[in-house]
């Protein structure tokens, strides 16, 4: 599958050659999320520039404006997170005894996606606003700067690279959450499993996941939450039976 950036092509394989069992599904979901995010961030940039006015004034971006923007972004991301979590659950469940009601786990996935997406979008919009503050105040202080220049300086917040980072990271997170849900349900049924970290090889230079730091380790040794460990992380987990 061809991804938008040659240097970020998904490698969902460990150094030892183990493949991510969800790799193909993730490639499709990640691209779909990327496409949706690109469109929404592009729309958000249009919304922001229209609201800022000319000359741009940050005071025009009211809390109500940001609430509406957050709502639009949540509407794009939440269903994708929920669906990917369910796919992660289904694929993990294929390899273990199913001890739960599918409806229960579907509700839990929906609840997680609904809670998490709010924090995600709040954080994204805070970073967007921080860049806006910097760029707009520079615009105000620099005579002769055009709205076109302002727009291009805002690309780091609204452009394809940010959409890509969010798509990669949140696909990783949603599938990993699916594995965690299965682990929790099994735990309730008296089957104790641990999650084992699998480091995607495209992170072999990353000191957090790569260089053997996390690859192959059980969660008791991670000292952190599950994947993603950082933006653009494509690591995953597998469930492994613990002795009773
Ligand atoms: Zn990673």
Q: pLDDT by residue (tens digit) across 36-81?
A: 999 999 999 999 999 999 889 999 999 999 999 999 999 999 999 9
Q: What is the pLDDT of residue 99?
A: 74
Domain of 90? 17-190
**Ligand 1 mean position to 11 CA, how many Å?**
11
Does residue 181 fall inside a structural domain? yes
In contact, 92 and 144? CB cutoff 8 Å: no
Closest CA to 86 of 196, 175, 186, 189: 175
**Ligand 1 mean position to 93 CA, how many Å?**
23
Q: What is the pLDDT of residue 57?
A: 94
The structure tokens listed for 221 are 């040794």
In contact, 61 and 52? CB cutoff 8 Å: yes
Does residue 208 fall inside a structural domain? no
Give me the number of domains the chain comprises: 1
**Ligand 1 mean position to 27 CA, how many Å?**
16
Does residue 239 fall inside a structural domain? no
Does residue 177 fall inside a structural domain? yes
Q: What is the pLDDT of residue 72?
A: 98
**How far apart (Å, rounded) are the C-alpha atoms in residues 13 and 16?**
8
Distances (CA, A) of 200 to 2, 41, 207, 229: 18, 28, 13, 12
**How far apart (Å, rounded) are the C-alpha atoms in residues 200 and 89?**
20
Angle at CA of residue 181, ends 195 and 220, nearest 5°: 25
**Ligand 1 mean position to 232 CA, how many Å?**
8
**How far apart (Å, rounded) are the C-alpha atoms in residues 134 and 83?**
36
Q: Quickly state the pLDDT bin for 92 (edges 50, 70, 90).
A: confident
Does residue 34 fall inside a structural domain? yes
Does residue 216 fall inside a structural domain? no
Does residue 214 fall inside a structural domain? no
- Three-state SS annotation for 177-216: HHHHHHHHHHHHCCCCEEEEEECCHHHCCCCCCCCCCCCC
Does residue 233 fall inside a structural domain? no
**Ligand 1 mean position to 72 CA, how many Å?**
29
In contact, 238 and 195? CB cutoff 8 Å: yes
**Would you call the peptide bond into 55 cis, given omega within 30 degrees of 0 as the criterion?**
yes
Q: What is the pLDDT of residues 152-185, one digit of tens each?
A: 999 999 999 999 999 999 999 999 999 999 999 8
């Amino acid at each position: 599958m061809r991804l938008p950036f040659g240097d970020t092509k998904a490698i969902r394989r460990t150094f030892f050659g183990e493949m991510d069992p969800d790799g193909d599904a993730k490639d499709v979901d990640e691209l779909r999320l990327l496409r949706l995010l690109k469109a929404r961030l592009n729309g958000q940039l249009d919304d922001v520039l229209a609201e800022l006015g000319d000359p741009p004034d940050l005071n025009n971006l009211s809390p109500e404006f940001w609430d509406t923007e957050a709502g639009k972004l949540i509407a794009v991301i939440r269903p994708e997170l929920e669906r990917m979590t369910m796919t992660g659950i289904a694929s993990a469940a294929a390899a273990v005894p199913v001890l739960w009601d599918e409806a229960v786990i579907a509700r839990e996935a929906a609840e997680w996606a609904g809670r998490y997406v709010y924090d995600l979008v709040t954080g994204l919009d805070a970073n967007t606003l921080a860049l806006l503050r910097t760029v707009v105040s520079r615009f105000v202080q620099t005579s002769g700067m055009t709205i076109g220049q302002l727009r291009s300086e805002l690309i780091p917040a609204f452009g394809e690279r940010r959409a890509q980072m969010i798509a990669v990271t949140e696909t990783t997170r949603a599938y990993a959450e699916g594995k965690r849900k299965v682990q929790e349900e099994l735990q309730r049924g008296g089957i104790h499993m641990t999650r084992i970290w699998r480091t995607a090889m495209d992170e072999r230079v990353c000191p957090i996941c790569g260089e053997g730091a996390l690859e192959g380790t059980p969660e008791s040794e991670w000292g952190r939450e599950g994947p993603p460990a950082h933006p653009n992380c494509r690591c995953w987990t597998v469930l492994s039976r613990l002795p009773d």
